[in-house]
Structure formats: structure tokens, C-alpha cells
Structure 1
Amino acid sequence: MNPAVDLTVYYRLAPGVAIRPERFGGLVYRYDNRRLYFLHSHQAVEFVNSLDGSRSLQETLDDFLASREMPPSASEALVKTVVKLEQLGILTHSG
């Protein structure tokens, strides 16, 4: 796990961002700058959509992995996705 990631942060989609599920994963669109991004995993799309700002990243991650019976090792890829999407302005901290 990336030690620089604060798992206590509450994430949500940034205003003006939409995610559309696709066969390959999902399309992420930012209306403010008209940029299109791709998520190449259905699990990543589901996880990002579950980030609603009401729970910490750790709580959301634990629930997501448990509900899908995924191994704890799957969390690393999901956290990397969160870090990248935050850098792109697709995810923001709530509160």
C-alpha cells in the first residue's frame, strides 16, 4: 500500500464529473475541461462510484473488498486508482 495515501480521507466524485460503465470498464468525463479518461476495470468503476464522501477511504475499501470476497491484496490497485483520479481532479475530498 502506498504510505503517502491517507486512508482516513473521505473521497467523492468532483463536481462536473460523470462515470459511464462500459464493456471494458468505464468512461470518466470532466465537464469543466471536456476531458475523457478511461478506467480499464469494472471493479475500479464500481469502487470509484462507491466513494460518496460519507465514509473514509479505508471504510469504503474494507466494505468493498468484503462484499465482493476479494483478497486484501486487491486494495493496492484500487488505492492507486484513487490517487491517480485525485491528481486528475476527478476525485475530491469531501467536507
Structure 2
Amino acid sequence: MFCPGLPYRCSPSVALRPEPFGALAYDFSTRRLSFLKSLELVEVVRRLEHHRDVHAALDAAGVHPERHGSLLAALASLCDTGTIEPRGGVPA
């Protein structure tokens, strides 16, 4: 279950390939291909591992507060598919 108050990261088995619309995410473990359909979402996913929680990653990526809800829904979906995953430890 996705909890934006916790720290996350892009799964180590997932590679992101930049595209004009956002990115392709390929999971080498499951062979699943996903589409990240906005550059904003890609930026947040890339920042996840560097912040104490999802909210901090959204802020660091410069996401307008009105967009937080839609991006949190997208991140929850990415968590359900294993593209992102919870991580232990919190950066100082």
C-alpha cells in the first residue's frame, strides 16, 4: 500500500528511458513496460530516493500543490506495479 509519508525509490530492476512525453519504464524482473506520461512525474520519480518522503520529492521537483493529488495517484499506481518501492533509511 502506497503511503506518501514514507521514503520511496525507483525499483533497482527498473530502467527509465526519457521520451518527449515523459519516459518508458522497463522492469527487467517482470519484463513489464510502463509509460510515465509526464515530464513532471518522471522528475518526481527520479527525486524520490533523495528525499525523506514523497511530499518532499514533490516539493523539490517544483510541483504546484494543485497537481499533488494527480501525481500521488500516479505514484500509487507505480507502487502497485513495482516501478517504485519503499526504501529504508532517510537521507540526512
TM-score, with structure 1 as normaliser: 0.82
- Secondary structure of 2:29's counterpart equals coil
1:71 aligned partner: 64
Q: 1:43, CA displacement in angstroms? A: 0.8
- Secondary structure of 2:9's counterpart equals strand
Name the CA distance, whole Å, in 2 between partners of 1:71 and 1:53: 19
Q: 1:88, CA displacement in angstroms? A: 0.3
Unaligned runs of 5+ residues in structure 1 are none
Change (3 A) 1:88 1:63: same
2:27 aligned partner: 30
The alignment yields a C-alpha RMSD, in angstroms, of 1.7
1:43 aligns with 2:36: no
Name the CA distance, whole Å, in 2 between partners of 1:89 and 1:52: 15
Structure 1 outlier segments of 4+, above 6 Å: none
1:90 aligned partner: 83
Unaligned runs of 5+ residues in structure 2 are none
TM-score, with structure 2 as normaliser: 0.84
